[in-house]
């Protein structure tokens, strides 16, 4: 199974499909074939491995695969049926497929008389597939809401100036995390006020190898000459009128992790809707006062309604603090 996990890691980290690896063993335990999923539209790991076998060699063999074989017909056929038709006698997999359309492969295999065992190295594989599993279960990306503020929660001075609230170490950390996210989102207010590039850059201003897809929420027009026009990826426009539907659309586009950069209107709406899975806060030891707060109205009228979070990490970056907080366990609704 660890070899299957190594193979899975060769697949693309981003996209609609999970990274899956498969090893086919003879009845004597010898490796007959290996395969992994190479991206949307290509054969799944099990089918890729079967393709490396001469006719008849799969009969009575064992398929070891990181994710439960799918039972879904999309761009490719269901892996469960491919394994049955090849004569595989036993299937060992790591974690169940929670997909609404793709799950059920283990049940079909058992119904065809195949010996099936699940749960091998489940913890390791769950960590490896964490983002994909979240999106498959929730039907939307995992959302991180980020802001950088002063000790009194201000993100800019009264005149709107905000460069720079935090130091270079915090800013470098932000750009690294941008590069690790599938998409980065702002509202049209931020686009019009700040003209952000929404790229991930190094200390010299050069583009990092991996760039998030820019997403803009809101109905206002983005100027033709906006910096977004130079982004390596085409921006995705969403109205923001129905955040659940908007996030579901991003999930369907293969976006598993969404990095929300603001401004306060978008951040507040996502937090108030219970859609923020993580808060990433960079706190500078400074005071500004004034009205420009990181988070605006949340519709909370009494202290009993306060949104409670658990501190996952608190670290010092240069002169600043980086705080990662996640909804308290009672507020996670089982996701």
- The residues that are catalytic are 46
- Ligand-binding site membership of 90 (annotated): no
CA distance 242 to 287: 35
157 is in an annotated binding site: no
Judge whether 73 is annotated as a binding position.
no
**Residue 185 · residue 258 · CB < 8 Å:** yes
Residue 266 marked in a binding site: yes
75 is in an annotated binding site: no
- Residues 37/66, Cβ–Cβ less than 8 Å: no
- Known binding residue 204? Answer is no
Nearest residue to 76 (alpha-carbon basis) of 39, 34, 24? 39
Q: Is 305 annotated as a binding residue?
A: no
The dihedrals phi and psi of 330, each to the nearest 5 degrees, come to -70, -15
Closest CA to 54 of 12, 26, 21: 26
198 known member of a binding site: yes
Q: Report whether 320 belongs to an annotated binding site.
A: no
- CB 15 within 8 Å of CB 254: yes
Any binding-site annotation on 178? Answer: yes
Length of the chain measured in residues: 335
Instruction: Give which of 34, 47, 36 is closest to 13, Cα–Cα.
Output: 36
* Residue 36 assigned as binding residue: no
Q: Is 265 annotated as a binding residue?
A: yes
Dihedral angle, C-alpha 176, 42, 235, 98, nearest 10 °: -70
Q: Which two tokens stand for residue 325?
A: 């907080």
- Helix H or strand E segment including 106: helix 105-111
Q: What sign has the CA pseudo-torsion 35, 41, 47, 52? A: negative
Ligand-binding site membership of 179 (annotated):
no
- How far is it, in rounded angstroms, from Cα 68 to Cα 135? 16
Which H/E stretch holds residue 3? helix 2-8
User: Which residues are known binding-site members?
Assistant: 44, 70, 79, 148, 162, 164, 178, 190, 194, 198, 201, 261, 263-269
User: Which residues are known binding-site members for NADP(+)?
Assistant: 148, 164, 190, 194, 263-269
User: Which residues are known binding-site members for Zn(2+)?
Assistant: 44, 70, 79
């Amino acid at each position: 199974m660890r070899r299957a996990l190594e193979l899975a890691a060769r697949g693309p980290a981003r996209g609609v499909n999970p990274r899956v690896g498969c090893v086919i063993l003879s009845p004597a335990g010898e490796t007959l074939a290996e395969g992994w999923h190479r991206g949307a539209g290509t054969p799944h790991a099990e089918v890729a491995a079967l393709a490396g076998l001469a006719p008849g060699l799969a009969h009575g063999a064992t398929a070891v695969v990181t994710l439960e074989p799918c039972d879904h017909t999309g761009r490719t056929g269901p892996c469960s049926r491919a394994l049955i038709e090849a004569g595989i006698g036993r299937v060992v997999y790591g974690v169940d497929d929670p997909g609404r359309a793709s799950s059920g492969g283990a049940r079909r295999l058992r119904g065809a008389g195949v010996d099936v065992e699940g749960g091998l190295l489940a913890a390791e594989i769950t960590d490896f597939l964490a983002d994909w599993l979240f999106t498959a279960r929730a039907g939307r990306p995992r959302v991180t809401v980020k802001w950088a503020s002063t000790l009194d929660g201000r993100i800019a001075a009264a005149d709107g100036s905000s460069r720079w609230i935090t130091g270079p170490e915090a800013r470098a950390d932000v750009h690294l995390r941008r590069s690790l996210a599938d998409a980065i989102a702002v509202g049209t207010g931020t686009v019009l006020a700040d003209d952000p590039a929404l790229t991930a850059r190094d200390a010299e201003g050069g583009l990092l190898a991996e760039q998030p897809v820019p997403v803009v929420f809101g109905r206002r027009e983005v100027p033709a000459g906006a910096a977004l026009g130079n982004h390596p990826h085409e921006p995705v426009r969403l109205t923001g009128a129905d955040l659940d539907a908007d996030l579901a659309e991003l999930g369907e586009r293969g976006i598993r992790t969404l990095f929300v950069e603001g401004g306060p209107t978008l951040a507040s709406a996502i937090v108030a809707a219970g859609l923020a899975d993580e808060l990433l806060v960079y706190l500078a030891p400074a005071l500004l006062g004034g009205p420009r707060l990181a988070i605006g109205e949340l519709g909370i009228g009494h202290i009993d309604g306060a949104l409670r979070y658990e501190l996952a990490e608190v670290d010092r970056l240069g002169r600043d603090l980086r705080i990662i907080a996640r909804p308290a366990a009672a507020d996670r609704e089982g996701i």
